[in-house]
Amino acid sequence: PSNYVIEGFTESVEISKLVKLAKARGLYCLHDWGSGTFYQFEQKALQNYPTVQQEIQKRADIICFSADKLLGAVQGGIILGSKAAIEKMRKHPLYRVLRADKVTLGLLESVLEACFEPESLKEKVTSIRLLERTPEEIRAQATQMLDKFFPESDSGWIVRIEETDSRTGGGALPELPLPSSAMVISHPRYKAQEIQNWLRSQSIPVIVRVQTESVWFDFRTVFEEDEKVLSETLRLMLKSSILEQAEET
């Protein structure tokens, strides 16, 4: 996994073959995994993603992967490997320059400790919590927000719930779609870009996306504790004079 995709007639060499080749030549085999995790995902789209425990079985001398991304800790890199390889890196002058500080290590430690209790990991690590949300849970939340602020009326707002895909992010699995639901809004008097700009200009910005001339609120990343802020922003937006003022400026 990486932060880009190569499409077409491409092929990757299996790590086991590289390990065999490296040993035959007296070299180290370094497996740059990209995005690692100790957690076995329940999310259908991620169920087959290997864990660190499984990746180690491929017997590369060194495995490196991100401390953030799917692991969900601080931005940084983790290196696992044979004692000989790790000790050689420790003695290199660059180790002192690149080693993590105490704050980074403390934050990383808290996430790694949480991995020992996978049943409660979703409550402790935000990225895991986001990735594990089910489409049914997200749709129910989006529908509840729609019913609260956009009941049937002649206000002019066109609102619907649409199925959509969330992405884990370019640094992990750039092409992996996660089923989600979005509240989609539009208004004949305002361009979607104008509505988006107004939402982003608030004291607590609301980040949406513009698609098919409509504004899309993907509820995968809206927690219960965020609903109050989102509700206040929507309530303000529905006062037509607010958008009219933005349109004039």
In angstroms, the Cα distances linking 124 to 103, 119, 244 are 18, 10, 42
Q: Is 169 left (phi over 0), alpha (psi -120 to 50) or beta?
A: left
> Which residues pair with residue 177 across a beta bridge?
167
84-129 confidence digits (pLDDT tens)? 899 999 999 998 888 889 999 999 999 999 989 988 888 889 888 8
Quote the percentage of the chain above a pLDDT of 70: 89
Q: How many CB atoms lie within 10 A of CB 82?
A: 13
Q: Read off the amino acid at residue 59.
A: R
Contact 182, 162 (CB under 8 A): yes
Q: How many CB atoms lie within 10 A of CB 33?
A: 21
| DSSP per-residue letters across 27-42 | ---EEEEEE--SS---
117-158 confidence digits (pLDDT tens)? 988 888 889 888 888 999 999 999 999 999 888 765 556 888
Q: Give me the domains of the chain, ranges plus CATH numbers.
A: 15-130 (3.40.640.10), 133-248 (3.90.1150.180)
Name the average pLDDT for the chain: 86
46-82 confidence digits (pLDDT tens)? 888 888 999 999 999 999 998 988 888 888 889 999 8
CB within 8 Å of 175: residues ≥ 6 apart: 5
pTM, rounded to two decimals: 0.76
